[in-house]
């Protein structure tokens, strides 16, 4: 039985939540592998909207086992709140004992470190993601398993609070976090979560051996990947196929399908280079019609046309076996639509994404221009989706993407609802 990884191919916010939810219908297990509550997934089921930040999208299905893997960073307060909101309307959840905990000092340090960057801020979500991954790499981190070992937890918190206070003092001059208070709080998290803590890698392996269908749900997108994104304007994890395998604790060879989720246009939140960023009526139209405001922070997203140079890099790193193209309905009714196929730079035309921020900032997109497809009323779209008979301009647009990428398009999404989807 196959394991499918779902990956954001752009700067995040491609509509992965909907695709995961859709594919979770067949899956028995959905696992999150990286990131934390910097992510935001909106899933609409039976006209009810759920905004999830940390829980896997599969949690909304009662017959699906949801896993939070070792590569995720967890803010226990957020996790407990999301669980509370769902009440009993959810499937089972297990959390890796190896996943790291976002502590109160991580959130304070996130803000303090951002401020210290002056005008060169990353534009983080302020959720403590970077400082938590930083402590993991420095080997100061507190893991989920520590929450249920009070003596170890106490010692680690004491040492970390002392260190964090010193750093906060360096940045802000006034920091006095109390380790005892934090320890008492953390013990409560352990109490509340203890029945859900386990070896999710082993659970996953057993589920694989039993022949279950499994989804690895990516968060964020390849172009804010710590290694292959527009560093340092990136997140602190690896939202790639390899990152998902590691962050869920399985062999990369187990992954048979890799679905690259591609939004029909580009958006970016936070800072960092964006060749071809639009600042005109078209951007305004896309932002409003596509509701391009951050699920996590509410920030308006920066908008632009689809960029295949970016996607080619995503394909190289992730090995997509198919693409899911989302939000095509947002572009309906536009006179023309554009796709970036190369960049003009001071050193001439290039077709590969440079690593240097400086070089990316000097890239001007070269576009192919396509005739737009007509907008239709709800009934007409419904019929077109049911019969898989899309406007020919839209088919031309999709064919171009598929041929350029050398990858078939397996899912076409024309709206937020489950039934606004075509599977090919
Ligand atoms: P952090 O992940 O909070 O450290 O933020 C680092 C950068 O990644 C910022 O530009 C964020 O806006 C961006 N980012 C983090 N998570 C997401 C996401 O889920 N979607 C889009 N951008 C994100």
Q: For strand 364-371 and strand 348-350, is the pairing parallel, antiparallel, or unpaired?
A: unpaired
Q: Specify the pLDDT at position 405.
A: 97
> Which distant-in-sequence residues (6+ apart) come within 8 Å of 245 by Cβ?
5, 33, 216, 251, 252, 254, 255
235 is in an annotated binding site: yes
Q: Is the CB of 127 within 6 Å of ligand 1?
A: yes
Q: Is 412 exposed, middle or buried (0-12, 13-18, 19+ CB in 10 A)?
A: buried
Domains in the chain: ranges and CATH: 3-86+200-423 (3.90.170.10), 100-195 (1.10.300.10)
Q: Which residue has the higher pLDDT, 263 or 51?
A: 263
Q: Specify the pLDDT at position 17.
A: 83
295 is in an annotated binding site: yes
Average pLDDT over residues 347-354: 97
What percentage of the chain has pLDDT greater than the value 70?
99
> Which distant-in-sequence residues (6+ apart) come within 8 Å of 345 by Cβ?
354, 359, 362, 363, 364
Q: Is the CB of 29 within 6 Å of ligand 1?
A: no
Q: Is 42 exposed, middle or buried (0-12, 13-18, 19+ CB in 10 A)?
A: middle
Q: Specify the pLDDT at position 255.
A: 97
In DSSP notation, 84-128 reads: HHHTTSS--EEEETTSEE--HHHHHHHHHHHHHTTT------SSS
**Closest residue CA from atom 21 of ligand 1:** 12
Predicted TM-score of the model (pTM): 0.95
Decide if 420 contacts 336 (C-beta within 8 A).
no
14 is in an annotated binding site: yes
Probe target for ligand 1 pocket from 6, 38, 223, 357, with the most ligand atoms within 8 Å of CB: 38
Q: Is the CB of 229 within 6 Å of ligand 1?
A: no
Average pLDDT over residues 50-72: 91
**Ligand 1 centroid from CA 219, angstroms:** 10
**Ligand 1 centroid from CA 131, angstroms:** 13
**Closest residue CA from atom 12 of ligand 1:** 270
Compute the chain's Rg from CA coordinates.
22
Average pLDDT over residues 177-205: 97
63 is in an annotated binding site: no
**SS3 call for 352:** coil
Quick one: residue 58, left, alpha or beta (phi over 0 = left, psi -120 to 50 = alpha)? alpha
Asked which of 2-6, 78-82, 224-228, 416-420 is least confident by mean pLDDT, the reply is 416-420
**Ligand 1 centroid from CA 63, angstroms:** 31
> Which distant-in-sequence residues (6+ apart) come within 8 Å of 166 by Cβ?
none
299 is in an annotated binding site: yes
Q: Is the CB of 283 within 6 Å of ligand 1?
A: no
User: d(Cα 275, Cα 266) in Å, to the nearest integer?
Assistant: 10
Average pLDDT over residues 68-72: 98
Asked whether the predicted pLDDT for residue 9 surpasses 60, the reply is: yes
Give the Cβ contact number of residue 253 at 10 Å.
8
- Torsion, Cα 22 297 8 391, to 10 degrees, reads 60
Q: Specify the pLDDT at position 1.
A: 57
Asked whether the predicted pLDDT for residue 47 surpasses 80, the reply is: no
Q: Is the CB of 326 within 6 Å of ligand 1?
A: no
Q: Is 65 exposed, middle or buried (0-12, 13-18, 19+ CB in 10 A)?
A: buried
Instruction: Note the helical H segments in 139-267.
Output: 150-172, 179-193, 200-209, 241-248
Probe target for ligand 1 pocket from 55, 235, 272, 357, with the most ligand atoms within 8 Å of CB: 235
Q: How many residues does the chain have?
A: 424
Asked whether the predicted pLDDT for residue 52 surpasses 90, the reply is: no
**SS3 call for 282:** helix
Q: Is the CB of 12 within 6 Å of ligand 1?
A: yes
């Amino acid at each position: 039985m196959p394991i499918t990884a779902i990956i954001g191919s752009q700067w995040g916010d491609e509509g992965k939540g909907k695709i995961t939810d859709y594919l979770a219908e067949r899956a028995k297990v959905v696992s999150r592998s990286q990131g934390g509550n910097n992510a935001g997934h909106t899933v609409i089921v039976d006209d009810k909207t759920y905004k999830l930040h940390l829980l896997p999208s599969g949690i909304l299905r009662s017959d699906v086992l949801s896993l939070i893997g070792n590569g995720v960073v967890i803010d226990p307060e957020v996790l407990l709140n999301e669980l509370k909101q769902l009440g009993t309307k959810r499937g089972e959840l297990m959390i890796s004992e190896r996943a790291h905990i976002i502590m109160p000092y991580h959130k304070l340090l996130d803000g303090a470190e951002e401020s210290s960057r002056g005008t060169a801020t990353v534009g983080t979500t302020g959720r403590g993601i970077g400082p938590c991954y930083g402590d993991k790499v420095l080997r100061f981190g507190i893991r989920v398993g520590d929450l249920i070992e009070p003596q170890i937890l106490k010692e680690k918190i004491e040492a970390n609070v002392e260190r964090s206070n010193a750093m906060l003092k360096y940045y802000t001059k006034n920091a006095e976090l109390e380790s005892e208070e934090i320890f008492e709080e953390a013990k409560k998290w352990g109490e509340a979560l203890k029945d859900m803590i386990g070896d999710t890698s082993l659970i996953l392996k057993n589920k694989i051996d039993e022949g279950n269908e499994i989804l690895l749900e990516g968060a964020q997108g390849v172009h804010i990947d710590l290694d292959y994104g527009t560093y340092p304007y990136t997140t602190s994890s690896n939202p790639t196929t390899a990152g998902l395998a590691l962050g869920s604790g399985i062999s990369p060879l187990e992954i048979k399908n890799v679905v690259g989720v591609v939004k029909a246009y580009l958006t970016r939140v936070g800072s960092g280079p964006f060749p071809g960023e639009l600042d005109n009526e078209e951007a305004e139209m896309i932002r409003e019609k596509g509701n391009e405001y951050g699920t996590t922070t509410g920030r308006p997203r920066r908008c632009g046309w689809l960029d295949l140079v970016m996607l080619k890099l995503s394909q190289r790193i992730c090995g997509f076996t198919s693409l899911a193209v989302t939000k095509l309905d947002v572009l309906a009714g536009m006179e023309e639509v554009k796709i970036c196929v190369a960049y003009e730079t001071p050193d001439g035309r290039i077709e590969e994404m440079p690593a240097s921020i400086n070089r990316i900032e000097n890239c001007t997109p070269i576009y192919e221009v396509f005739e737009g497809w007509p907008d239709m009323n709800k009934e007409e779209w419904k019929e077109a989706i049911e019969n898989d008979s899309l406007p020919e301009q839209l088919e031309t647009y999709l064919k171009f993407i598929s041929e350029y990428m050398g990858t078939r398009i397996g899912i076409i999404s024309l709206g937020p609802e489950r039934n606004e989807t075509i599977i090919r």
